[in-house]
Structure 1
């Protein structure tokens, strides 16, 4: 789940700030949940205007042929396979210059396991001619009953608990140090008061001894 959120955030950043980074899609979905199939194809020259369409094909595990399941030609999104009816949603660029071609699958099923192929058909509008570019990317998707925790997530969680323990120990050390410091200052202050009182007492006694009686 964390990985999917990271991919979604990467796509969002690319859209909002005009930059483009080709982030690989996640490859493990949980049955009954939603899943974002990522597909990014960046233009090599951002200053060149372009238009593109995106097609998704799917080959179920154990099958030999790909089936055309989705087509996007801004602003139209068409689901082309009955097995994905009402389950696919465009999550890519919202204009004709498409660089992000992700789709979201809702209510993932075990028979969604297989190979997904994303194809960009891009036209670059150059000064002298229009250039046609085709980019294909594949995602091998596995559907599981329960999400596997990634090693990095486990390590991060362990480090978080270690950090909490270290901070607590450090706080205890600081509290003990502060208590000792305050205690020492209090004792020193009381000692100075005692010395001052003793000095006043001796001074008073000397004054009394110096008084001559008539």
Structure 2
């Protein structure tokens, strides 16, 4: 019984990995000049079964300035770059349907002038049975553009720990599978032995009855 529960846990772990839901992960905040950078923006619906439609707007406030510039608008399937400084350098990397939950954009060939605050605004309309609900979500990303990528010690340690955890989990799963295989094999061997003993006992009984009849 314990072994079957272990197998069920292993199966659920694999299913969870294959069918993960929406998760609101913060955007990275450091870009390297001359390279591309993904500005992340995720807003998950609280109820997946409710249909919705959303639009996404990105605004940019350069370092040292006080006002935002409207640089990008997405209304499926149309993506529009609205500021000449980003002309032909912004690419939609979010959800490619009307029910947007990921509003990410990709900046090609980042420059130092793009250091500053980016604001992602998701305007969502939820189509409920009795009425339509309008929801506005704003997420800010403080972007720093550097000449060479910096890797903090905490980031390196976190990455190492992640790989160690993955290896440990894999070894644990392999150990569980081997243990369960041995337990199941032992159960089948015991069951076959019991069947053989019962068959032998029945045969002896039949032979004994036959001798008495004669």
- What TM-score, normalized to structure 2? 0.64
1:164 corresponds in structure 2 to none
The count of corresponding residues between Structure 1 and Structure 2 is 144
Query: Alpha-carbon deviation of 1:53?
Result: 0.2
1:123 corresponds to 2:121: no
Unaligned runs of 5+ in 1: 1-15, 160-214
**What RMSD in Å do the two structures reach over aligned CA positions?**
1.8
CA distance in 2, matches of 1:157, 1:39: 23
2:91 corresponds in structure 1 to 89
Map 1:28-107; keep pairs closer than 5 Å.
28-107=30-109
Note the alpha carbon deviations across 1:96-152, whole angstroms, 9 max, x for none.
000000000000000000000000000000000000000000000000000001314
1:23 corresponds in structure 2 to 25
Query: Alpha-carbon deviation of 1:154?
Result: 3.6
Note the alpha carbon deviations across 1:3-44, whole angstroms, 9 max, x for none.
xxxxxxxxxxxxx95721000000000000000000000001
Q: Who wins on radius of gyration, i.e. which is larger?
A: 1
SS at match of 2:46: coil
Distance 1:149-1:48 versus aligned 2 partners, 3 A rule: same
- Higher relative CO (Cα under 8 Å, sequence separation at least 6) belongs to 2
SS at match of 2:21: coil
Hey, which bits of structure 1, 4+ residues long, moved more than 4 A? 156-159
